[in-house]
Amino acid sequence: MRVVIIDAGGANTGSVRYAFERLGIEAALVTDAASIRLADRVVLPGVGTAAQVMARLRQLDLVDVLRSLEQPLLGICVGMQLLYERSEEGNVQGLGLLPGTVARLAGAGGMRVPHMGWNRLRHTAPGTLATGIAEGDHAFFVHSFAAPVTPDCILASDHGAPFAAAVQRGHIGGAQFHPERSATVGARLLQNFLAPGVVPAVSPNGSPA
C-alpha cells in the first residue's frame, strides 16, 4: 500500500511517519501532485495556523489536487480543520470538502485555550474510522480551534463545549486529536484508515459512487 504524507510544513510529520512505521507502513513525505495522485492513502497533517498550512498548499499548487482526490484522505489537527469550508483562524478559506466553519474554542467554564492534553471521546455517528475505539477512550489534543459537531462528526469531545474529535464523509476523514501521540486509540484510527474499503469514494452529490 502506498501511503503519502503531505509536507505541509508542520513539525509533526516525522512522528506521523513513525506512527505508520509502527504499523508496518513506510509512508513517504511528499510535496508533488504526481505522488499524491498515485497514492492509495493520503495524509494531510498540520501544526501551526490554518493560514500557514493553506499558504503552503497553495505554494505547492496542491489545493485543486486535494479537492479532486478519490482515494482516502485523512486530515490531522489543522489538516482536519482545513477540510472544512472556512476557518475563523485568520478568516481562511479551506478546502471545502466538508461543510461548516472551524471556530475558536470558547474556553467556557474556566477552560484554558489552547486545549492541551488527554480528553475523552464519545461516539456521535457511525464511522468505520472509529471502529474499535470505545466510548470514553482518551486521545491527545493540542488545539485552539475546532470544528462543530455536525452529521459528519463520528467522535466528539468536550472542552467548555462539544467539538468534533474525528469526522468521516465518504473518502474524507479527519482527526482533531493527534493519532501519532494517542497510544492505542491513535494506532487503531490509523489502522482503520489503512483498512481496505474503509472510506469508499463518493460522487459529488455525497452519495456512494
Active site residue 153: no
The catalytically annotated residue of 26, 77, 89, 115 is 77
Total domain count for the chain?
A: 1
Residue 205 lies in a domain: no
Residue 50 lies in a domain: yes
The catalytically annotated residue of 89, 153, 171, 180 is 180
The catalytically annotated residue of 115, 159, 171, 178 is 178
What does the alpha-carbon distance between residue 165 and residue 196 come to, in Å, rounded to a whole number?
Answer: 23
CA–CA distances in Å: residue 92 to residues 54, 103, 180: 8, 11, 26
CA–CA distances in Å: residue 156 to residues 49, 56, 139, 142, 196: 22, 28, 11, 15, 25
Q: Can you say whether residue 117 is alpha, beta or left, with left for phi > 0 and alpha for psi between -120 and 50 degrees?
A: left
What does the alpha-carbon distance between residue 161 and residue 80 come to, in Å, rounded to a whole number?
Answer: 19
Domain of residue 8: give its range.
3-194
Residue 62 lies in a domain: yes
Residue 204 lies in a domain: no
For each of the chain's 209 residues, which pLDDT tens digit applies?
999 999 987 667 889 999 999 999 999 999 999 999 999 999 999 878 899 999 999 999 999 999 999 999 999 999 999 999 999 999 999 999 999 999 999 876 777 888 899 999 999 999 999 999 999 999 999 999 999 999 999 999 999 899 999 999 999 999 999 999 999 999 999 999 999 865 543 333 343 33
Residue 202 lies in a domain: no
Residue 123 lies in a domain: yes
| CATH value at residue 15 | 3.40.50.880
| pTM to 2 decimal places | 0.92
Residue 56 lies in a domain: yes
Active site residue 178: yes
Residue 206 lies in a domain: no
- Type of residue found at 9: G
Active site residue 138: no
